[in-house]
Amino acid sequence: MTGIVGYGTYVPKYRLKIADIAEVWGKKAVEIESGLRIAEKAVPGFDEDAVTMGVEAARKAIEMAGVKPEDLQSIYFGSESHPYAVKPSSTALGEYLGVGNNYFASDLEFACKAATAGIQVTTALLQSRNINYGLVVGSDTAQGKPHDALEYTAASAACAYILGNKQSEIIANILEMSSFSSDMPDFWRRDGARYPSHFGRFSGEPAYFTHVIGEGKNLLQKSKLEPSDFAYCVFHMPNGKFPRVAAKKLGFTPEQLAPSLTVDKIGNPYTASSLMGLAAVLDIAKPKEKIFFVSYGSGAGSDGFIFQATKAILQKQKKTIPVTKQLEQKIYISYSSYLRQTHTI
């Protein structure tokens, strides 16, 4: 059995209100906020990028796991906003953490599910006994073209997970995993393009729901479990509406979903989105409780996992600041400050 032995999250302290974006472009904030179910989003400081945020999250994961950096034998870094087009983020992270040289490393890109693909790869390495501990990071900085619909939701955050195969250290076992994939380019960014493009409203029903619901059904069928068997469910959160609809379609209750909805507070930090929701759930999960998890990445595909908390989670929960408290540590900035900090002017 393999599973999570530690996790860490990092959310930039800066927040931009959706109402401020709407005011600049002459839009009605009430309509946008009610449609997206988001009131504000987290944005990076001028000196923050996917790697710096990933370092902060990884340090917390290492502390919770109780391992040394040199114990890590693989690093998979998922992001849509790697600082360099040609230069790995994974090795930069390894250098900052002091991992050494003897580790597998790769940067992953699959829109917002890049990091969950990394969890699958790391799980395979653990099950084949090629490694004892592996680090997976999902980290992104906001990428939304000014005056585009994405500008209201594209946010910034980082999540790090350390996986292992020592049962005494695992806080959540991976019981099942599977994927649902297809070629459906609802969201893309060509090489050299500064901002991503999308099909607007057509990115919802045919893309997100096709894959998330498809993978959700796969996972339930494979595991032979029912929605009622789970304490919590977690879905990718491109906005506040989609995960709520997906949960309902699959038969989950609002109460099962509510603890994971970090999108309401920080927007959509892409590869960190579903993983941030998972961290919020792990903060409160009790031994033996099951967690239903489905990510989504445009292009398109969904990765699904079933986690089950162990008794080790109770002690390790004490080693972290809950996600809910991190989300409240914030400083509001103006739209002009946001543009300067994200280098869009």
**Cα 223 to Cα 33: distance, rounded to the nearest angstrom:** 37
Cα 310 to Cα 89, 135, 274, distances in angstroms: 32, 20, 21
Is 80 an annotated catalytic residue?
yes
Q: Strand, coil or helix: what is 78?
A: strand
Active-site residue, from 112, 169, 211, 233: 112
Is 147 an annotated catalytic residue?
no
Count Cβ atoms within 10 A of the Cβ of residue 36 and give its class: 0-12 exposed, 13-18 middle, 19 or more buried.
buried
Which of 237, 80, 77, 88 lies closest to 144 in space, CA to CA?
Answer: 80
In sequence order, what DSSP letters do the residues of 2-35 get, joined into one string? -EEEEEEEE--SEEEEHHHHHHHTT--HHHHHHH
Q: Strand, coil or helix: what is 303?
A: strand
Instruction: Say which residue the tokens 């930069």 belong to.
Output: 92
**Cα 171 to Cα 108: distance, rounded to the nearest angstrom:** 25
Cis peptide before 300 (omega within 30 of 0): yes
Instruction: Say which residue the tokens 């929701």 belong to.
Output: 277
Is 112 an annotated catalytic residue?
yes
Token reading at 134:
């592996």
Write out the H or E segment, with its range, that includes residue 308.
strand 299-309
Active-site residue, from 80, 151, 169, 215: 80
Q: Which residues are catalytic?
A: 80, 112, 236
